[in-house]
Amino acid sequence: MQSVDRAVTVLEILARHGEAGVTEIAGELGVHKSTAFRLLGVLENRGLVAQTKDRGKYHLGAGVLRLAGAAAVRLDISQEGVPVCRELADELGETVNIAVLDDDAAVNIMQARGTASVTAQNWLGRRTPLHATAGGKVFLAHVEPAVREAHFGRPLRRFTERTVTTASALRGELETVVERGYATTLEELEPGLAAVAAPVRSHDGSVIAAISVSGPVYRLTAVRLPELGSRTATAAAGLSRRMGYGF
């Protein structure tokens, strides 16, 4: 824990000063220069600090911007998504979630419940599999092909009799997701559960989240899913505009 605390302190020192040398950092940490040098080496290897070669000083690296950008996206989505989720949940009466991609899973970061979903599960904070959820299929449909194929290279867990677990079947389904603008699942994660989801885009057009509507199959029937998918896609487009897409 001491090393972690010191590493964070190094980042705070560089944020405060803009740049600093090993001697200066060691002095503020109250450690030997060799200890400070080792900490800086680890942070440099992870891209969190970088060295100005001609002056021998260190400054914050691009890795910090990457982490800050990821956090900012989640914060922005959480703020901008509230009215969109609430309106969609009130209109449809079902549970509406916003999920973001987290490595090999989709993580729900916001949820709104409609009047018909008073007994629905709480999905907030849950990591859900990409291949068996509507939001997850949205992400798989829009990631780089190499990332998608790497995911298909691992065994895909079967959750129900309807779970699609073959790469060939999923590839065809994901092409459809891109063409029509939304994904669907029908009892693929849990018996009796259906869902639709559509992509949310950032200002540069990249997919940064998925907004989904889920509920029991007796309400979200196979016949009704296209209508719900289209409405969800419209809501996702509205949230995308809030995130700067199309301007």
For 91-141, the pLDDT digits (tens) are 999 999 999 998 889 999 888 888 875 555 677 778 899 999 999 999 999
For 3-27, the pLDDT digits (tens) are 788 888 888 888 887 788 888 888 8
Indicate the pLDDT class of residue 165, thresholds 50, 70 and 90.
Answer: very high
For domain 77-243, the CATH architecture is 2-Layer Sandwich (3.30)
- Mean of pLDDT over the chain: 87
> Residue for token digits 């990249």?
206
Question: 121, 247, 243: which is closest to 189 by C-alpha?
Answer: 121
Cut 0.85: pTM above it: no
Using CA atoms, how far residue 195 sits from 137, 168, 232, 242, in Å, is 11, 22, 10, 24
For 30-41, the pLDDT digits (tens) are 888 888 888 888
What stretch of H or E contains 165? none
**Fold that domain 1-73 belongs to in CATH:** Arc Repressor Mutant, subunit A (1.10.10)
What is the CA angle 73-78-83, rounded to 5?
130
Domain borders along the chain are 1-73, 77-243
